Amino acid sequence: MMMMGLHFMKEVPFRNVYIHALVRDERGAKMSKTKGNVIDPLGLIDDYGADALRFTLAAMAAQGRDIKLSTQRVEGYRNFATKLWNAARFTEMNGCKTVPEFNPKSAGQTLNRWIAHETQNASREITDAIEGYRFNEAAATLYRFVWNIFCDWYLELAKPILAEGDPTSQNETRAMIAWVRDEIFKLLHPFMPFITEELWRVTAEEEGAKRNSLLALAQWPHHERLLDHAAEAEIGWIVDLVSAVRSVRAEMNLTLATELPLVLVAVSPETDARAGRWAEAIKSVARLSSISVSPSVPRGAVQLLVRGEVAALPLVGIVDFAAEEVRLEREMARAEADIARIDAKLANVDFIRRAPEEVVESEREKRQEAQARRSKIAEAIERLRSAA
């Protein structure tokens, strides 16, 4: 190709060569018709869509590591595409229309300044990763930004404003939601071109307008002066606090139906004021019965460290501490037994020599999962003992 280009076109046809990873089956074995483990990409496209398959391959394309392709991973990214579609549907139902003259730098609402801050960070990280051929890092950043930051946090925290805010804050929030949505379409387009191009067209038509160009021809996002560290400190604190509460719920097997009291322990006046401003939103998303401030940790409370300050969840009367510790100890014993069993297998020279490479690799992955499980259980036990 290089010689033909130089001979006939009198120019170099390409300057960069990207050598992609080998695609293997989910166990790490090389695909072959003899083994019967070949995955037909056309079949995956029929079942889950071309966008889901493209994103899967990009997300797993770490440099120097083969891709272990499974239908479950492709299905997961099909769900990601569905999440994006539902988010666009949400914007339509809430009257979030693209405002051509809207400038995100003019946002006055803390929540809107925060999402502008996060959008600049995400677009910079994604651009840097693509330019460095780290497509898996770009895909991971996109996934986190779209699913977690935009859908799970921003839209959830924006709902009260859209429902009960004053007209000025509502209009600003609608314009910001539409702006971030459009930036997401642009950033995601190289990975999921079909659904993003369709949503780019459909969202404009639903708003009674037309786009100036195809999404494929739209300008790549490049943002400056959108960083707002004060807004990040405020909304980031809410995100970290709610995440910590949800983590305790998972560790203690507490359902969302069980509302918990939250106590902020000897926090700064700034955090106290922050909690007051966002009390209703925090109680709603974290399923809390109340938020209060105390100079000391209440008896029988699990402590949470959130950005250097302590919050506590009093669990007396909600959790049976003795029974919960017994349950966690059993889980710990199972995790340690799994690790010991795998260690014995991996220490067996005959097993390493005779077993296929993909089987050995699978055992190593199982050990990593068991270790992660053991760490989480140990953290839960420590929390429980400190509260008892």
pLDDT digits (tens, 9 = 90+) for 139-181: 999 999 999 999 999 999 999 999 888 899 999 999 999 999 9
pLDDT at 212 over 90: no
Q: Taking the alpha carbons of 119, 285, 321, 310 in that order, is the dihedral positive or negative?
A: positive
Q: Taking the alpha carbons of 212, 149, 59, 194 in that order, is the dihedral positive or negative?
A: negative
* Rounded-to-integer distance, Cα 55 and Cα 188, Å: 9
Confidence of residue 320 (pLDDT cuts 50, 70, 90): confident
In terms of Cβ atoms closer than 10 Å to its own Cβ (0-12, 13-18, 19+), residue 386 is exposed
- CB atoms near residue 169 (< 10 Å): 17
Question: Is the Cβ–Cβ distance between 234 and 261 less than 8 Å?
Answer: no
Mean local confidence (pLDDT), 77-86: 96
Question: Is the Cβ–Cβ distance between 355 and 267 less than 8 Å?
Answer: no
Question: 72 vs 27, 108, 208, CA distance in Å?
Answer: 13, 43, 39
Name the residue with tokens 């105390």.
294
Phi, psi of 279, rounded to the nearest 5 degrees: -55, -50
In terms of Cβ atoms closer than 10 Å to its own Cβ (0-12, 13-18, 19+), residue 17 is exposed
The β-bridge relationship of strands 260-265 and 309-314 is antiparallel
* Rounded-to-integer distance, Cα 311 and Cα 144, Å: 26
User: What domains are defined for the chain?
Assistant: 71-227 (1.10.730.10), 230-314 (3.30.2320), 321-387 (1.10.287.380)
pLDDT at 100 over 90: no
Can you give the C-alpha Rg of the chain in angstroms?
A: 25
pLDDT at residue 388, as a whole number: 64
Confidence of residue 255 (pLDDT cuts 50, 70, 90): confident
Mean local confidence (pLDDT), 320-327: 82
Regarding pTM above 0.95, the answer is no
Mean local confidence (pLDDT), 30-41: 86
